[in-house]
Chain A
Amino acid sequence: MVQDKSSARKAYWRANLGLMGVLLAIWFVVSFGFGILLRPWLDQVSLGGAPLGFWFAQQGSILTFIVLIFYYAWAMNRLEVRFADRLGSDDKPIPDVVAPDAASQEDAP
């Protein structure tokens, strides 16, 4: 059981890292790629009168960022549901590491 839980944790973490990698690649491409490095080349194309590279730098990247975050939130929820029975819900507060202080645990009403 312990073995299973730890391998499930690893699989969950790997899936998370993979998802993050893809989304960060998109994040990089739309801003640093389209908006900055590839701009001279993309600017030859026009989007409703705006050069495409310029448009990505001023609006396209922001729109993509919004979609990326909502997609990540959605995909992570799905991932958590998929792993929920194998990992169990571990929602206890994390204890202090440096100064274990009994009083601080009881402050909250």
Chain B
Amino acid sequence: MSATLFWTGFFVITSFALYIGIAIASRVGSTDEFYVAGHHVPPVFNGMATAADWMSAASFLSMAGLIAFSGYDGSVFLMGWTGGYVLLALLLAPYLRRFGKFTVPDFIGDRYYSDTARVVAVICAIFVSFTYIAGQMQGVGIAFSRFLEIPIEAGVMIGGLVVLMYATLGGMKGITYTQVAQYCVMIFAFMTPAIFISLQLTGSPVPQLGLVGNVSDGTPLLMKLDGMLTELGFAPYTDGSKSTFDVFAITLALMAGTAGLPHVIVRFFTVPKAADARKSAGWALLFIGILYLTAPAVAVFARTNFIETVNESVYNAETTGLVEGESETPDWFHRWENTGLLAFEDRNGDGRIQYRADPEVNEVTTLNRDIFVLANPEIANLPSWVIGLVVAGGIAAALSTAAGLLLVISSSISHDLCRKVLFKSMSDRQELLIARLSATGAVLIAILAGIYPPGFVASVVALAFGLAAASFFPAILLGIFWQRMSKEGAIAGMVTGLGVTGAYILAYKIFGWIPNDAEHWFLGVSPEGFGTIGMMISFAVSVTVSLLTPAPPPEVRELVERIRAP
């Protein structure tokens, strides 16, 4: 057994034991505790839990690599996935907390005095959450299979069972405190290699400063990278390839989508009062910011390091021999080649790796963006326990998000569908039982989806954010800020927003009916950014239909007055 395998197993098992321990300590017995942790979560802890809930396997493993390859274009994720918290803190979270119920469909159903609106919201919530959860389970499976030599299926099942255990026992209370622990594991795992790489490249122990840092000879790191990339035929790192309008649209769609995702919103129901919801959004963004401010620096380090150590290196020094001033291809390159995420083909037969933009000359034929975060510890020559830690961090990121999504699915079914629409006379204990059963059902479906991932998992991010931006965001925002908004307006707005955005993304990304390129896009907006257009349409339809239909009854106006009051 190798040292890496030992340490990975050690960290994964220890962290799982911790999560289960927390779950057993925070068992719950009422729906209030199961859905919103009894509204007792202190703002700082809720901030940490929100950060873990929010940052998925994609943020942890893929984002830095994605930015490393797209340079300026990667900014849409950085701004989009953080700017949404400003919208949440200012426009949504305090009012939803003041409303004081359990779920997002709860608010939609009460504010729009309609079970139809509630059911539409339930469908949106379940749809958005399921598309998202499949990717998380798959991430857990991949982490297990690659580092612990366990088949993907077994990995997905182990991960699913652990989530099931703490989600059904402890509900929101259990999830909250495991998420706090998962945030700590995750941030420690992300920062440790980043700090060491930063020390090696720029001499500074604060990796976040790497973006404005200098390399040892005094040249700014970014200028050095721009120079290296242009020499190899790539576009400069600080230039973008997307149109300004598309960058604008994607950023706005991701921001509104973030603010409209039910598993994020529901976290703000768990704090004691509205003022805490505002404060806790600040903490959440601060905790997220630690990773999000580091990711662009890690991206620059990774791209620079890759070019410096791999390009023009001698692939096999024993057979080719080293000329004065040349270096050998680093070991980690060979190790990652075995996984298939990295491939080298010696096209010109000189025994050296040429990394170029031109596909005719480029010899690094496969370069998966996910390897950068995973290979970081090896690139920085860190001991093998750091690798184990990074794997445990990736699993923590995936599990914490999956648990949050799971709770949205289970509460939508047990509370909104069963208690509020189908069986109104149900008792609290029956509702709690159904909540646990539907959580179990949802985990089983998520496990299946993780083992047999539907082909569209890669496009799911665009879909989930686009749908949230075009359905929940306008309905909740107008519900708080525009008393005149009627139930007909809300239902029409959600349905059109969902329909138009869903159809656009399906047509370009999932079924491929229309070629997915800038020439064929509506107004030059990519499917990732179409949520913005869908949101505009949803706003327009909501307002028009509301003005054409009767005003909401006085109780609803009173409800709106009360959630606005301090």
| A interface with B by C-beta (< 8 Å) | 9, 12-13, 16, 20, 23-24, 27, 31-32, 35-37, 43, 46-51, 54-55, 57-59, 61-63, 65-66, 68-70, 72-73, 76-77, 79-80, 83-84, 87, 90-91, 93-94, 96-99, 101, 103, 107-109
B113 at the interface (CB under 8 A from A): yes
- Cα of A8 to Cα of B79 in the assembled complex, Å: 37
- Report whether A107 and B31 are in contact in the complex, using a CB–CB cutoff of 8 Å: yes
- Report whether A59 and B293 are in contact in the complex, using a CB–CB cutoff of 8 Å: yes
- 12 A–B contact pairs at CB < 8 A? A35-B79, A58-B75, A61-B79, A61-B82, A62-B78, A70-B279, A70-B286, A79-B566, A94-B562, A97-B555, A98-B113, A109-B30
Q: Whole-angstrom distance from the CB of A37 to the nearest CB of chain B?
A: 7
Q: Which of B146-154, B209-217, B304-312 contacts A (4 or more CB under 8 A)?
A: B209-217
Instruction: Assess A101 versus B424: contact at CB under 8 Å? Given A37-B244, A69-B282, A94-B99.
Output: yes
Q: Which residues in chain B, 85-107, are within 8 Å of chain A measured between CB atoms?
A: 85-86, 89-91, 94, 98-101
1/0 contact trace for B270-297 toward A, CB 8 Å?
Answer: 0001010011011001100100110010
Chain B hits for A35, CB < 8 A: 75, 79, 251
B257 at the interface (CB under 8 A from A): no
B125 at the interface (CB under 8 A from A): no
- Report whether B279 and A73 are in contact in the complex, using a CB–CB cutoff of 8 Å: yes
- Report whether B89 and A49 are in contact in the complex, using a CB–CB cutoff of 8 Å: no
Residue on B nearest A96 in the bound complex, by CB = B110
Chain A hits for B296, CB < 8 A: 58-59
Q: Whole-angstrom distance from the CB of B300 to the nearest CB of chain A?
A: 9
Q: Whole-angstrom distance from the CB of B208 to the nearest CB of chain A?
A: 7
B83 at the interface (CB under 8 A from A): yes
How many residues on B have C-beta within 8 angstroms of the other chain's C-beta atoms?
Answer: 70
- Cα of A87 to Cα of B31 in the assembled complex, Å: 32
- Report whether B85 and A65 are in contact in the complex, using a CB–CB cutoff of 8 Å: yes
- Cα of A65 to Cα of B288 in the assembled complex, Å: 11
Chain A hits for B424, CB < 8 A: 99, 101
Q: Whole-angstrom distance from the CB of B44 to the nearest CB of chain A?
A: 12
- Cα of A12 to Cα of B78 in the assembled complex, Å: 34
- Cα of A91 to Cα of B275 in the assembled complex, Å: 12
B223 at the interface (CB under 8 A from A): yes
- Report whether B248 and A36 are in contact in the complex, using a CB–CB cutoff of 8 Å: yes
B548 at the interface (CB under 8 A from A): no
- Report whether B428 and A107 are in contact in the complex, using a CB–CB cutoff of 8 Å: yes
1/0 contact trace for B193-236 toward A, CB 8 Å?
Answer: 00000000000000010011110000111110000000000000
Instruction: Assess A73 versus B31: contact at CB under 8 Å? Given A66-B286, A99-B424.
Output: no
User: What DSSP secondary structure best describes chain A's contact surface?
Assistant: helix
- Report whether A27 and B83 are in contact in the complex, using a CB–CB cutoff of 8 Å: yes
- Report whether B211 and A55 are in contact in the complex, using a CB–CB cutoff of 8 Å: yes
- Cα of A46 to Cα of B219 in the assembled complex, Å: 13
- Cα of A57 to Cα of B238 in the assembled complex, Å: 10
Q: Given B89, B289, B555, which contacts A62 in the complex, CB threshold below 8 Å?
A: B289
Instruction: Assess A62 versus B82: contact at CB under 8 Å? Given A31-B251, A94-B562, A98-B115.
Output: yes
- Cα of A109 to Cα of B31 in the assembled complex, Å: 10
Instruction: Assess A65 versus B566: contact at CB under 8 Å? Given A36-B248, A48-B213, A94-B559.
Output: no
Chain B hits for A13, CB < 8 A: 564
Instruction: Assess A97 versus B113: contact at CB under 8 Å? Given A49-B220, A62-B292.
Output: yes
- Report whether A58 and B109 are in contact in the complex, using a CB–CB cutoff of 8 Å: no
Chain A hits for B213, CB < 8 A: 48-49
- Report whether B115 and A9 are in contact in the complex, using a CB–CB cutoff of 8 Å: no
Chain A hits for B559, CB < 8 A: 94, 97
Chain A hits for B82, CB < 8 A: 61-62, 65
With A24-B90, A69-B89, A76-B278 given, name 5 new contacts (CB 8 A). A23-B86, A31-B83, A50-B212, A70-B286, A94-B559
Instruction: Assess A72 versus B278: contact at CB under 8 Å? Given A62-B79, A99-B424.
Output: yes
Q: Given A9, A69, A83, A97, which contacts B285 in the complex, CB threshold below 8 Å?
A: A69
- Cα of A107 to Cα of B296 in the assembled complex, Å: 48
B350 at the interface (CB under 8 A from A): no
